[in-house]
Amino acid sequence: MFLDSGDLQAIWLTIRLASIVTAILLVVGTPIAWWLARSRSRWKGPIGATVALPLVLPPSVLGFYLLLAMGPNGPVGHLTRTLGIEPLPFTFWGLVLASVFYSLPFMVQPLQNAFEAVGDRPLEVAATLRASPLDTFFTVALPMALPGYLTASILTFAHTVGEFGVVLMIGGNIPGATRVASVQIYDHVEALEYGQAHRLAAVMLIFSFLVLLALYAWRPNARKG
């Protein structure tokens, strides 16, 4: 077998994590991006900067704060205790939550650009054609921003796959729960299993290249939409 069962488990976990994070961010990122694209509030700057923070912060910094928040004395920790759920650090769902924050700008920024490109006019036209604001969003803004949704989803998925620092801070290295592909490669290297590290690294490299290729090949068409 080209990859061993540990590798396959890590890949499966990575795909599961990236899919769930992408799905959550599609729901969470849409209203944030819409607000950032449409609002003239003075909070637009601070909120936009906050969303963009994970782009520049070292993952260890983000992971550190998230770990504190999810810990027994943090707000998230309080919440999980009140709800009677197991603490989030070093669990798959803790990793999901951390990744949602970490990948947020990769969802929000392309969506915000797409919504800004739609502009005011189509929304005004829809209003004069009796569509309520919510109706307008789903029948005009969303279809017109569809290329942006594809870009945002691909970037979010790929970026989550590429996570490492935050995973180590929040999730550690638990097989089947938090040991994603990037951590698995790290393990192989630490254990001097260069052959296995090579194979998994090659899979990651090819995957990343294909994702970006799809994105760039698709973009020119997106412009027309």
Partner 1 sequence: MDRITARFHVTWPGFTLDLNLNLPGRGVTAIFGQSGSGKTTLLRCIAGLERAERGFLSFNGEVWQDDRTFLPTHKRPLGYVFQEASLFPHLSVLGNLRYGLTRSKAEQRVSLDHAIELLGIGGLLERKPERLSGGERQRVGIARALAVSPRILLMDEPLAALDMARKQEILPYLERLRDELEIPVLYVTHSPDEVGRLANYLVALESGAVVAQGPLAETLARLDLPIRLGEERGVVLEGIVAERDERWHLERVAFPGGSLWMRDRGLPLGHTVRMRVPSGGISLSRLPQQDSSILNTLAGVVEAIGDDDHPAHSLVRVRIGESVLLARITKRSVAVLCLQPGVPVWAQIKSVAVAQ
CA distance linking residue 216 with residue 225, whole number of Å: 15
Nearer to partner 1, 53 or 144 (CB): 144
How many residues line the site for partner 1 (CB under 8 A)?
A: 20
Interface with partner 1 (CB under 8 A), residue from 41, 43, 75, 135: 135
- Per-residue b/e over 100-137, b at no fewer than 16 CB within 10 Å? bbbbbbbbbbbbbbbbeebeeeebeebeeeebeeeebb
The span from the CA of 43 to the CA of 39, in Å, is 9
Of 37-45, 49-57, 58-66, 133-141: span binding partner 1 (CB under 8 A): 133-141
- Assess 124 for contact with partner 1 (CB under 8 A): yes
CB of 152 to partner 1, least distance (A): 18
Judge whether 66 and 100 are in contact, CB under 8 Å: no
CA–CA dist 36, 45 (Å, integer): 9
Range in contact with partner 1 (rule: CB under 8 A) among 5-13, 127-135, 155-163, 209-217: 127-135
Is 73 an interacting residue with respect to partner 1 (CB under 8 A)?
no
Helix (H, G, I), strand (E, B) or coil at 173: coil
Neighbours of 198 (CB within 10 A): 13
**Per-residue contact string for residues 84-123; x = within reach of partner 1 by CB under 8 A:** -------------------------------------xx-
Shortest distance, CB of residue 142 to partner 1, whole angstroms? 10
Can you give the binding site for partner 1, defined by CB under 8 A? 121-122, 124-133, 135, 139-140, 143-144, 146, 224-225
